[in-house]
């Protein structure tokens, strides 16, 4: 079997995603941690877990920074070295990479990696402002460019260069809402129609309300260990066999191309090379669909189709459950929700379920190899991880 395991996932947890009124971020994190511990009775958390890495984007939401120590405390992991990673919406994708490095370095045998964000208690205007901090201030935010605006700039260019249509973008939303309807932890578990998307109000043309991901509260976590220790904790480990991360200009405007994310392409190549796998080996993927155009660009950057063909790929049903390569079976950021700091390891949680055959109604048949793609901001950070059934 190709793809030497770097580390193994022996357990995973995910809180319910959605509007978690009356809950504080650390309490939602504890919910994800509880699931991960319950799934892995052979794990003795206080003895076994030697480090915690937590993805968290913004202290503005809860007036709370110092997230590493806070989450360690509330996870019952007092005194473990605990560190927050921040890379905008790729914060926990980057935390995952950091956790893999910690295990590979030999400094820790068993680590917890996760992410958390509590957002819905803030007004949409506040959330919009906090999220925009992940983009360039002096030339983008200063000139009134919002986050949907940045992805709209990519969408307009993609439509111009490749003939991608607004209907094709809408197909991403319809598909991901269908997948979300099968996920009891998704924020929205309701199917929508193409007409719903097309008639929703414009946020930043050509992107409409239903082209945008959700404002969400949520948390996620994984327990990682060395591959040789995995069977000590579980009979069903999932191996991470490839990891790639790259950065790009903070300003979208400085990039050579506006229709693909160079950081994602570089991260994908590194992950594929490390895993000795190619795009056609991937059975299912969770990609960063913060906006519908982002999923179409992800197909192309990850090699699931040729450049410019992403719109057709989704319109033809290839990325729907039952299709050639199901993408975002969890519902994605679009329907499952996007608690930004929790998204990267939340995607890994879905891969853990798929590759251990525990994805229930949304199970991809015979899924053996999976991929996650987590993007920060308008693409200044990207992480790609590849997983194999143990």
Partner 1 sequence: MNMSEQSDFTIEQFYKNVLQGKLLAGKCKKCGKVHLPPRPLCDECFSNEFVWKEIPQRGKLLTYTIIQVAPAQFQSMAPYAVGIVQLEDGVRIPGMIRGVASEQIKIGMELAFDFGICTATQQWPQWPRYYFKPL
Residues that bind partner 1 (CB under 8 A): 125, 128-129, 132, 138-146, 148-149, 152-157, 160, 201-207, 251-254, 258
Q: Which of 288, 336, 286, 349 is nearest to 114 (CA)?
A: 349
Give the span between the Cα atoms of 176 and 337, in whole angstroms.
11
CA distances (Å), origin 51, targets 47, 82, 109, 224: 11, 6, 9, 10
Q: What are phi and psi of 178, to 5 degrees?
A: -60, -50
Q: Please, what's the b/e burial string for 129-149 (b: 16 or more CB within 10 A of its CB; e: otherwise)?
A: ebbbebbbeeebbeeebbbbb
3-state SS, one letter per residue, for 293-321 = HHHHHHHHHCCCCCCCCHHHHHHCCCCCC
The helix (H) or strand (E) run that includes residue 372 is strand 369-376
Give the span between the Cα atoms of 278 and 25, in whole angstroms.
38
Q: Please say whether the beta carbons of 302 and 371 come within 8 A.
A: yes
Residue 89 is a catalytic residue: yes
Name the active-site residue from 158, 177, 288, 338: 338
Q: Please say whether the beta carbons of 116 and 70 come within 8 A.
A: no
Helix (H, G, I), strand (E, B) or coil at 87: strand
**Minimum separation from the CB atom of position 152 to partner 1 (A):** 4
Q: Which of 14, 212, 40, 240 is nearest to 115 (CA)?
A: 14
**Minimum separation from the CB atom of position 206 to partner 1 (A):** 8
Task: Report residue 328 as tokens.
Answer: 């975002």
Residue 338 is a catalytic residue: yes
Task: Please say which residue, 142 or 366, places its beta carbon nearer to partner 1.
Answer: 142
User: The tokens 């069977």 sit on which residue?
Assistant: 231
Name the active-site residue from 89, 212, 290, 305: 89
**Minimum separation from the CB atom of position 313 to partner 1 (A):** 22
**Minimum separation from the CB atom of position 166 to partner 1 (A):** 13
Task: Please say which residue, 46 or 143, places its beta carbon nearer to partner 1.
Answer: 143
* Neighbour tally for 228: CB within 10 Å: 10
Whole-angstrom distance between the N-terminal and C-terminal Cα of the chain? Answer: 10
DSSP per-residue codes, 255-276: -S-SSS-HHHHHHHHHHHHHHT
Give the span between the Cα atoms of 289 and 118, in whole angstroms.
19
Give the span between the Cα atoms of 374 and 90, in whole angstroms.
5
Task: Please say which residue, 79 or 201, places its beta carbon nearer to partner 1.
Answer: 201
Residues labelled as active-site residues? 89, 338
């Amino acid at each position: 079997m190709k793809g030497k395991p770097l580390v193994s996932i022996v357990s995973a947890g995910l809180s319910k995603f959605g509007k978690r009124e009356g809950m504080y971020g650390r309490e939602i994190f504890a919910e994800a941690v509880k699931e991960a511990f319950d799934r892995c009775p052979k794990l003795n958390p206080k003895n076994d877990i030697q480090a915690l890495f937590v993805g968290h984007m913004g202290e503005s939401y809860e007036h709370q920074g110092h997230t590493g120590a806070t989450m360690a405390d509330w996870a019952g992991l007092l005194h473990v070295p605990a560190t927050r990673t921040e890379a905008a919406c790729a914060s926990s994708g980057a935390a995952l990479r950091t956790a893999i490095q910690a295990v590979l370095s030999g400094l820790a045998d068993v680590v917890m990696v996760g992410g958390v964000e509590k957002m819905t208690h803030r007004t949409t205007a506040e959330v919009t402002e906090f999220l925009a901090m992940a983009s360039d201030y002096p030339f983008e935010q200063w000139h009134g460019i919002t986050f949907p605006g940045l992805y709209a700039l990519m969408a307009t260019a993609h439509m111009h260069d490749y003939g991608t249509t607004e209907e094709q973008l809408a197909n991403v939303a319809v598909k991901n809402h269908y997948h979300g309807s099968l996920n009891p932890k998704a924020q929205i578990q309701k199917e929508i129609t193409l007409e719903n998307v097309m008639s929703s109000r414009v946020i930043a043309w050509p992107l409409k309300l239903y082209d945008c991901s959700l404002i969400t509260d949520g948390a996620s976590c994984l327990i990682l260990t060395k591959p040789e220790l995995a069977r000590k904790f579980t009979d069903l480990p999932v191996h991470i066999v490839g990891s790639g991360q790259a950065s790009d200009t903070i300003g979208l405007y400085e990039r050579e191309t506006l229709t693909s994310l160079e950081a994602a392409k570089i991260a994908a190549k590194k992950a594929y090379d490390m895993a000795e796998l190619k795009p056609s080996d991937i059975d299912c993927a969770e990609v960063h669909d913060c906006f519908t155009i982002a999923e179409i660009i992800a197909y192309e950057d990850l090699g699931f189709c040729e450049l410019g063909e992403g719109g057709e790929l989704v319109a033809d049903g290839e990325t729907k459950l039952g299709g050639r390569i199901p993408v975002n079976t969890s519902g994605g950021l679009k329907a499952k929700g996007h608690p930004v700091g929790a998204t990267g390891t939340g995607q890994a949680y879905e891969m853990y379920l798929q590759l251990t055959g525990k994805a229930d109604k949304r199970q991809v048949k015979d899924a053996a190899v999976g991929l996650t793609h987590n993007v920060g901001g308008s693409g200044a950070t990207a992480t790609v991880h590849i997983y194999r059934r143990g």
